[in-house]
Structure 1
Amino acid sequence: MQHLLRYKIAFVLSAFLCCPLLGISQLRDGINLPDHDEKEFHFGINLGLNRSHFSFTHHPIFMQRDSVMVVESINSTGLNLAWLVDKRLSEHFNLRTFPLDLTFTEKAFEYNLKYPDRPGGEDSITIKKVQSISLTFPLQLKFSSDRIGNFKVYMMGGGKVEFDMAANAGAKKAENLIKLNRLDYGIEAGLGFHFYYPYFVLTPEVKIGWGLGNLHARDKDLKFSNVIDKINSRTITFSLTVE
């Protein structure tokens, strides 16, 4: 079901990517939404695709045992859906947040096992997937350039707190799982562009996120968990916002 939704989102994003090109001809027709940037608050809908993986460190037990030969984190694609609230601070600075920011991802670890439990469904190369549905609360400071016709560029940075509603740290039957904590926090930085149209502003943005909290709820009795020490999230997101 999730892969079908990804295709639909990708189609919508591809269609929106053509809009900035169409907006170039509008520069000859004058300034669109001339008072838009003077408003105290802006609201918008944000839709995006993310590419994420885990950054992790090995636990010392990894070198002491030979049941797990190699551990790697696999990149995965996910979806973002958010509601933007932007507060104007000055001519070039804005404070913004996303009170409703949902992120859907499915990260994975790949294990090279020396003694796989084949009756239990394991192979020499075994992949363990970790699904995530996160509710994120970011707070970002945005610095914008001067407006040039119907175009403006900006940079942003800030922090975020994430709550993973699908985390399994409390799972009791977890022999084949990697337990993750629900709460995470981190920092973000990105670059975006405003394209002004007669009735809306379209904003493509690229953003990188670094998770600072240790997500791993390590269990020394689980072979897929005990060889890993700390786990941090890493994400790059391309999104489109319509204001």
Structure 2
Amino acid sequence: MKKLIIVFAVLLSCNSSFAQLFSKEKVANLQTMDKKVLSWGYFLGFNSYDFKFEYEENLDDILVDATTGFQVGLTGDLRINNHLNLRFEPGVYFSTRTLRYNESYFDGQNFNPSDLLREVKSTYIHLPLLLKFSTNRINNFRPFIVGGVSTALNLASNEDNPSDNSGGQFRMTSNNYFYEIGFGVDLYLLYFKFTPSIRGVFAINDEVVRDIDPNSPWTGNITSMKTRGIFINFTFR
């Protein structure tokens, strides 16, 4: 997560053209863009997904090794008034997480070193519906906050796989629900509007599909497993 924030900051600071947007005397670019009732664009970005666990018993935590994934998608923007917009941002998100189990989960059982690791690959069709609250425009930039709800279809969930963790398959629910909150800034360039933003996402539903054995060392001690993550998006309109 820290790496993503650093990338976000470096991309802004390294481009000297952005500094000109904050000068006191600046010709306003794209003066009529925000008056459009409906507009479209696309986004590219990075993500870092994690899990939040709740447990039945007080054993060692399941550790999550998160990697930086990426996403791509479209954005539709409906103007409600001068400061409020409704946004729909369908996209495809790719992520990999590795779960690390402590040996205490296999107390009294025979296990291999590979049993302590489970790689969880996810491919989400992510469908957020967001409200964007913007400040007044200052020269060629305009800060905003954004929040809303979303649903996601995990194409790599393994939910219907008859093999569970005893066969090396960690299973998750296919349909998931989230709430989201974040902030960003609209930068009005000469020919298009560029919008970097950062957003946190938090799952509402339990996502783990439990093993057939209720005493499974992989899922038996999990009360709930919910995704949480951070998105950094770069939108072009």
What's the TM-score once normalised by structure 1's chain length?
0.83
Show the counterpart of 1:87.
78
Show the counterpart of 2:191.
199
Show the counterpart of 2:52.
55
Render the CA deviation track for 1:140-161: whole Å, top value 9, x for unaligned: 0111000011010001110001
Query: Which amino acid in 2 is paired with 1:135?
Result: I
Cα distance in 1 for residues equivalent to 2:207 and 2:61: 20
Would you say the 8 A contact 1:78–1:106 is kept in 2?
Answer: yes
Q: CA deviation at 1:202?
A: 0.7
Q: 2:158 aligns with which of 137, 144, 168?
A: 168
Task: Say whether residues 1:180 and 2:172 are aligned partners.
Answer: yes
Cα distance in 1 for residues equivalent to 2:29 and 2:14: 14
Show the counterpart of 1:75.
66
Cα distance in 2 for residues equivalent to 1:185 and 1:232: 10
Q: What are the residue-to-residue correspondences of 1:203-242 with 2, within 5 Å?
A: 203-221=195-213, 222-242=216-236
Structure 2 segments unaligned to the other structure (5+ residues): 1-6
Q: What are the residue-to-residue correspondences of 1:92-103 with 2, within 5 Å?
A: 92-98=83-89, 100-103=90-93
Q: CA deviation at 1:122?
A: 2.8
Would you say the 8 A contact 2:8–2:232 is kept in 1?
Answer: no
Partner secondary structure for residue 199 of structure 1: coil
Cα distance in 2 for residues equivalent to 1:188 and 1:220: 33
Distance 1:15 1:202, change over 3 A: farther
Show the counterpart of 1:25.
20
Would you say the 8 A contact 2:67–2:97 is kept in 1?
Answer: yes
Distance 1:241 1:35, change over 3 A: same
Q: CA deviation at 1:18?
A: 5.4
Q: CA deviation at 1:24?
A: 3.1
Cα distance in 2 for residues equivalent to 1:105 and 1:116: 31
Structure 1 segments unaligned to the other structure (5+ residues): 1-11
CA RMSD of aligned residues (A): 2.5
Q: What are the residue-to-residue correspondences of 1:109-128 with 2, within 5 Å?
A: 109-114=99-104, 117-118=111-112, 122=114, 126-128=116-118
Cα distance in 2 for residues equivalent to 1:69 and 1:56: 11
Cα distance in 1 for residues equivalent to 2:159 and 2:190: 49
Cα distance in 2 for residues equivalent to 1:202 and 1:147: 14
Q: CA deviation at 1:218?
A: 1.4
Partner secondary structure for residue 122 of structure 1: helix
Task: Say whether residues 1:145 and 2:148 are aligned partners.
Answer: no
Seq. identity, %: 26
Distance 1:24 1:205, change over 3 A: same
Q: CA deviation at 1:97?
A: 0.5
Cα distance in 2 for residues equivalent to 1:229 and 1:169: 18
Cα distance in 2 for residues equivalent to 1:229 and 1:109: 16
Query: Which amino acid in 1 is paired with 2:66?
Result: N
